[in-house]
Amino acid sequence: MPIYFEGQCGPLFHLASRFSMTLRLSLLIREFRRSVGSRLVAHVGEAVPFEQLAHKNDRKVRIGELYDVVHGLAPDRGAQTRGGTIEAAS
């Protein structure tokens, strides 16, 4: 099920993502802590059955295909018409 979360991680997170998965995951916890108490908006799309994926055997291409589905839910690309919208505040 594709879910697009509005927002953006900090530049340090993106820089670390290029070098170390461990550092990336550690900074992801920091990003979660930064967002506590703020509004979280998620756009939920329809579930994508495995059979509908064009590249079942090529993992990298399949991930790219799923990435496109998720980012297709972004508000500037018509997320309101493709799937539901969930707004949660903590």
Asked whether the predicted pLDDT for residue 51 surpasses 60, the reply is yes
68: containing domain: 3-89
Cβ partners under 8 Å of residue 37, min gap 6 = 90
The confidence band for 50, taking pLDDT boundaries of 50, 70 and 90, is confident
Q: Which residue has the higher pLDDT, 77 or 31?
A: 31
For residue 43, the tally of other CB atoms under 10 A from its CB is 23
Distance (Å, whole) CA 87 – CA 72: 18
pLDDT of residue 88: 45
Q: CA 71, 73, 78 angle in degrees (round to 5)? A: 120
What is the domain count for the chain?
A: 1
Given this model, what pLDDT does residue 13 score? 85
Band of pLDDT at residue 89, cut at 50, 70 and 90: very low
Least confident of 3-12, 23-32, 77-86: 77-86
